[in-house]
Amino acid sequence: MARAATTTDAFNAVAEPQRRQILDLLAAGELPVNDLVALLGLAQPQVSKHLKVLREVGLVHVRDEGRQRLYRLNGRSLKPIHDWVSNYREAWEERFQALEQLLEELKHDEENDHGNGE
Amino acid sequence: MATASSGTAVVTLPTDTQILITRDFAAPKHLIYKAWTTPELIKRWWSANRGEVILAEVDLRVGGKWRYVMLADARCFPQASPGAGGVEVGFHGEYREIVPNERIVSTEVFEGAPEAEAVDTLTLTESGGCTTLTILVQHQTTEHRDMHIESGMEAGLQDALDLLEGVAISLDGDTKSPS
């Protein structure tokens, strides 16, 4: 299965742990690049490179305010990823519900066994 | 009828190569363990009513093998060959660690994508009659992990994804690499 280029696919963009860390930080609110650099403990060029990828897939938006570049999370672009995991979750939930019904039966069986003095 | 209590399973992606599934049950852990490891019982829940488990082999000892085969309802597989009664979907693996009623570590291979072997860790933790079940799926690569979840996003195959618990990569396997 061919993988999309890092810069065209939100899934690949968030596959990188440091980029996920950036998104986590921005989830709390808008931040200037300098703050991100300080919080992440990475070199500025590295952070800028990650931000560029995130910007290109629309995961973050940027605006200039005076001499600062401010980055913020674009929640909407995370929806495909949320949906991606949701489908998987729902599939498991369906299976768990079937398991739950079976467990109710097993519980009753066990209670009856005890009721009959084993 | 399954809608009222739905929404309690939680799925997270702790690292680039893992999937973690968590779910609470109002049942003691020994019963969940029994349902999880007894072939006749596995056949009653594992397909989640979307097919029939036609084989459930469990050799529950370290180094022992397991294999499940489901005959998936053809209606859930729009891409299946017309007229087919269903699609056989097989999974197998080997037990690596067994702590009765508490923990099972096993490998898992979807037979349509045999290169993507994962290691699953099931844990059961009981407290006051309720049990928290966790399944940690450890893939070898991010690509395998992502395929495991992602493939179900292919258009029109949502039902199949549900059926295959996200191992819906199988559809690719069925159409491209019949083994």
pLDDT band at B155 (very low <50, low <70, confident <90, very high): very low
A82 lies in the same domain as A24: no
Q: Are residues A51 and A11 in the same domain?
A: yes
Residue A1 domain-assigned (yes or no): no
Residue B71 pLDDT level (bands cut at 50, 70, 90) = confident
- The more confidently predicted of residues A93 and B6 is A93
Residues A25 and A50 in one domain: yes
Q: Do A55 and A98 lie in a common domain?
A: no
The stretch B159-176 carries a mean pLDDT of: 33
How far does the CA of residue B2 sit from the closest CA of chain A (Å)?
A: 7
- Predicted pLDDT at A83: 75
Lowest pLDDT segment from B43-52, B72-81, B134-143, B155-164: B155-164
A36 plus A92 within the same structural domain: no
Judged against a pLDDT cut of 70, whether residue B5 lies above it is answered with: no
In a domain, A107, yes or no: yes
Spell out the domains of chain B, with CATH numbers in brackets.
Answer: 10-174 (3.30.530.20)
- How many structural domains is chain A composed of? 2
Query: Three-state SS for A99?
Result: helix
pLDDT of residue A93: 86
User: A57 and A13, same structural domain?
Assistant: yes
Percentage with pLDDT > 70 across chain B: 70
Question: Alpha helix (H) ranges present in chain A?
Answer: 10-13, 17-27, 33-40, 44-56, 79-115
Rounded average pLDDT over B20-38? 92
Residues in B touching A107 (Cβ below 8 Å): 27-28, 31
User: Is A69 in the same domain as A82?
Assistant: no
Q: CATH number of the domain at A62, please.
A: 1.10.10.10
- The two three-digit tokens of residue B176, written as one number: 């491209």
Cα–Cα separations (whole angstroms), residue B158 to B75, B90, B150, B151:
12, 19, 11, 10
Which one-letter DSSP state was computed for residue A108?
H
CB contacts, 8 Å: A83 with chain B = 153
Per-residue pLDDT band at A118 (split at 50, 70, 90): very low
The reply to whether A66 and A12 lie within a common domain is yes
Distance from CA of B166 to the nearest CA of A (A): 5
What pLDDT was estimated at residue A85?
Answer: 76
Q: What is the pTM of this model?
A: 0.67
Tell me the sheet residues that pair with B22: B10, B134
Angle at the Cα of B68 from the Cα atoms of B77 and B40, rounded to 5 degrees: 110
Same domain, A92 and A107: yes
DSSP one-letter string for chain B = --STT----EEE--STTEEEEEEEESS-HHHHHHHHH-HHHHHHHTTTTSEEEEEEEE--STT-EEEEEEEEEGGG-TTSPTT-SEEEEEEEEEEEEEETTTEEEEEEEETTSTT--EEEEEEEEEETTEEEEEEEEE-SSHHHHHHHHHGGGSTT-HHHHHHTTT-THHHHHHHH---
Residue A106: is its pLDDT beyond 90? Answer: yes
Instruction: Please indicate, yes or no, whether residues A82 and A68 belong to a single structural domain of this protein.
Output: no
For residue A104, pLDDT beyond 90: yes
Of the candidates B31, B46, B149, the beta carbon closest to that of A88 is on: B149
- Domain with A29, as residue range(s), is 6-73
Between B78 and A38, the more confident residue is A38
Judge if A11 and A62 occupy the same domain: yes
Residues 133-172 in B contacting A (C-alpha not used; CB under 8 Å): 142-143, 146-147, 149-153, 158, 161-166, 172
- In the structure encoding, which two tokens stand for residue B58, read together? 């469990």
pLDDT-derived band at B150 (thresholds 50, 70, 90) equals low
Are residues A11 and A68 part of one domain? yes
Q: What percent of chain B has pLDDT over 90?
A: 42
pLDDT at B140: 93
pLDDT at A79: 73
